[in-house]
Structure 1
Amino acid sequence: MIYIFDGSLEGLLTAVFEWFERKPGKVNLRTIKTHQPDAFTETFSVHTNRAKADRVWSGLQKKLGKEWMRKFYCAYLSELPEVLNTLFHFVCYIFLHPAGAEKNYGNEHVLTVSKTARSVEREKHRMEAFIRFKHTADGIFYCGIDPDFNVLPLIVNHFKNRYADQKWIIYDLKRHYGLFYDLSTVEEITVEINSQILKNPTVNQLDEKEKLYANLWKDYFKSTNIESRKNTKLHVQHVPKRYWKYLTEKKID
C-alpha cells in the first residue's frame, strides 16, 4: 500500500498516526507531487491533522532525546524525496521497539536518518561561515543564498545573536523565501521581485560605501595571504568551490 501525503512535516507525522491506527501492513510513503498512480497498488490519502501530528511528535519526544529529535528534523529539512519514506519508517521503528532503538545503526532507516542529518548540519555550518552581507541603500544588510538543503530554520539563532544590532535579510533563492530581522524579531518573508536582482543587487540598491568596503576586504585578504604556503587542494577541501560565490574575497570585478 502507498500512503499519499502533502509533503509537510505535520503530514508525515499524521501518516504515522494513521498507520498505527489502521495497521495496514507494509506501507510506502509518497508525496502528492511524486506519486504516480497505477492500477495494481492500493493507495490511502493522508489528510494532515494537527492534533494527530502533535500526538505523534509528543510520543516521539518521550522515546528520543534532543539529539535525535534534531537529527529527525534535519533529515526532513534535506528535502530529499526518498528521505520522507525513510523518516516514516524510522518513526514507526522507534515506536515499535524498546528505548534505545535509535542506537541500532544496523537498521537502514536509523543509519540513513543519521547520515542525512549530518549532511544538513554540515551545510548549516558552511552557511554560517560563508554568508557575506551587502549593505543596501535603505540600511538593511542583505545576502541571497541557494543552499543544497533548507537550512534557514537552522541558522536563525546564529545570525540573530551575532548580528543583533543591525537589520538583515537572508533570502533563499532556490526556495523563494527568506528571513528578515528587524532588531527585535525574525520573520519569514517572500518577495515578488526579479530573481536576478535578488541574486545580485544593483549598484543603486547598495549603500554607496559598499564597493569601498568590498575592496578593503579584498586588499586585506590579499595582504594576509602567504603565497609560498598556498595549498589549493586543502583550501578547496575546506571551502568547496560552490561556496565561493558568497565570498567577497573570491569575486573579481
Structure 2
Amino acid sequence: MKEKRIYQCEDSLEGIFSAVYIAWASRYGHDNIELEVLGMEEEYNLKLFSEYIIVKNNPENASKVANSIKKKISHHAYQMVVRAVLSNDKRKANAIYHFLVRGFAFGSKVEDHLSDPYVQIIFELNRYVGNDAHLYTGFVRFTELDNGILFAKIEPKNNVLEIITPHFADRLSQENFMILDVKRKIATVHKSNSAWILTTISEEELATLLSVTEKKERYERLWKTFFESIAIKERENKTCQRNHVAMHYRKYMTEFMDDSEHKSDALRGKLGRNQEEV
C-alpha cells in the first residue's frame, strides 16, 4: 500500500491550481493524493504514512489548469471551482482536485454526478459562498469620509469581496467608494464612472482606514437614531431579528453599534448559541 502524498499550497486560486498541476503530473495515483491549504490544515495532527510536499505558486501551471477546465469540462465548472476557492472550508483544495479528476474523465457531465462526495462538496461550497455574498449585499453599511469617499468595512467568513463589489459598482456608479475586508487585508476601490480594482492593504494603511473620523461618528449616530425611531418597542422581537441578521454580520452595521443587547447576545453566542448562525 502506497503512502499518501499531501500537497500543501497557498490559499488562492493560483496556489490551488499550482498544486493541482504538480499533483496530477506526479502520476502517483489520484487515490493516493490529497491537497491541503497551508494554514487550514489541523495543527499538530500530521497523518501517519504520509509525505507532505509544499507547492510554490506557479502562474504558468495555474493558467494551464484553468484553460484545461474550460476546454475539457466547461466554463460553468470553472466558475464553480473559482467560487469554491473563495470559501473558508478546509476541504476545498482536496475537493477541487478530485472534482477535476472526475471532470477530466466525464467532461461537463460531471455536474450530474451528484452522488459523488467530491461533486457534492463543490456544490455545497458554491451554495455556502453564494449565500454569504447574497447576505452581504444587504448588510454592507457605507460611511461618508471627510473627503467624500464612501467607505465600508466587512469581515466575511468567506472571501466574497470580489463577488459583492459589482453589485455596489452598479448601484453606486457615480460614487467613489471603498469596501475593506478587514480580516484578509484586501479592499475593492471604485472610482466614479469607472471600473473598480482589487488591492491588498498594508498594516499601516489598515490602521489609517480603521480610524474613526468625526464625520463617520455623526453618520453612525444619525443612522442609529433613524433605526430606533422607526422601531416600535412593543413589537420588538430580538429572536426574530437574530434569525434574519445573525451576530456575525452585525459588527459593522451601524444600526447595531453600541447595542448592549447585541453585546450580551454576542457573549452568549460564544458559549454555544449556534441557533444564531445563518
Which TM-score bucket, shorter chain as reference?
0.7 to 0.9
Residues 229/90 of structure 1: CA separation in 2 closer, same or farther (3 Å cut): same
Question: Where does residue 241 of structure 1 map in the other structure?
Answer: 247
CA distance in 2, matches of 1:92, 1:121: 24
TM-score by length of 1: 0.83
1:106-126 residue CA offsets vs partner (Å, 9 max, x unmatched): 111111111112111111112
Residues 173 and 198 of structure 1 are in contact (CA less than 8 Å); yes or no, is this contact kept in structure 2?
no
Question: Where does residue 250 of structure 1 map in the other structure?
Answer: 256
Question: Where does residue 92 of structure 2 map in the other structure?
Answer: 83
Question: Where does residue 26 of structure 2 map in the other structure?
Answer: 22
Residues 5 and 45 of structure 1 are in contact (CA less than 8 Å); yes or no, is this contact kept in structure 2?
yes
Question: Where does residue 179 of structure 2 map in the other structure?
Answer: 170
Residues 144 and 198 of structure 1 are in contact (CA less than 8 Å); yes or no, is this contact kept in structure 2?
no
Question: Where does residue 186 of structure 1 map in the other structure?
Answer: 196
Percent same amino acid at aligned positions? 27
Question: Where does residue 232 of structure 1 map in the other structure?
Answer: 238
CA distance in 1, matches of 2:108, 2:132: 30
**What is the aligned residue count?**
248
The answer for unaligned runs of 5 or more in structure 1 is none
Residues 218/62 of structure 1: CA separation in 2 closer, same or farther (3 Å cut): same
CA distance in 1, matches of 2:243, 2:97: 34
Between stretches 9-18 and 52-61, larger displacement belongs to: 9-18
Asked whether 1:222 is paired with 2:233, we answer no
CA distance in 2, matches of 1:191, 1:63: 39
Please state whether the residue corresponding to 1:171 is helix, strand or coil: strand
Asked whether 1:71 is paired with 2:77, we answer no
Please state whether the residue corresponding to 2:141 is helix, strand or coil: coil
Question: Where does residue 13 of structure 1 map in the other structure?
Answer: 17
Please state whether the residue corresponding to 1:142 is helix, strand or coil: strand
Residues 78 and 150 of structure 1 are in contact (CA less than 8 Å); yes or no, is this contact kept in structure 2?
yes
User: Which residue identity lines up with residue 22 of structure 1 in the other structure?
Assistant: S
Question: Where does residue 7 of structure 2 map in the other structure?
Answer: 3
CA distance in 2, matches of 1:194, 1:57: 33
Residues 145 and 172 of structure 1 are in contact (CA less than 8 Å); yes or no, is this contact kept in structure 2?
yes
The answer for unaligned runs of 5 or more in structure 2 is 260-278
Question: Where does residue 108 of structure 2 map in the other structure?
Answer: 99
Residues 225/43 of structure 1: CA separation in 2 closer, same or farther (3 Å cut): closer
- Quick one: higher RCO (CA 8 Å, sep 6+), 1 or 2? 1
Q: Note the C-alpha offset of 1:39.
A: 8.7
Root mean square deviation of aligned Cα: 2.8
Please state whether the residue corresponding to 1:99 is helix, strand or coil: helix
Q: Note the C-alpha offset of 1:246.
A: 2.3
Runs of 4 or more off by more than 6 Å in structure 1?
Answer: 35-39
Residues 214/90 of structure 1: CA separation in 2 closer, same or farther (3 Å cut): same
User: Which residue identity lines up with residue 147 of structure 2 in the other structure?
Assistant: D
CA distance in 2, matches of 1:189, 1:45: 24
Residues 93/228 of structure 1: CA separation in 2 closer, same or farther (3 Å cut): same
User: Which residue identity lines up with residue 115 of structure 2 in the other structure?
Assistant: G
Residues 191/141 of structure 1: CA separation in 2 closer, same or farther (3 Å cut): farther
Q: Note the C-alpha offset of 1:194.
A: 7.7
Question: Where does residue 55 of structure 1 map in the other structure?
Answer: 64
Residues 78 and 149 of structure 1 are in contact (CA less than 8 Å); yes or no, is this contact kept in structure 2?
yes
CA distance in 2, matches of 1:9, 1:235: 36
Q: Note the C-alpha offset of 1:162.
A: 1.4
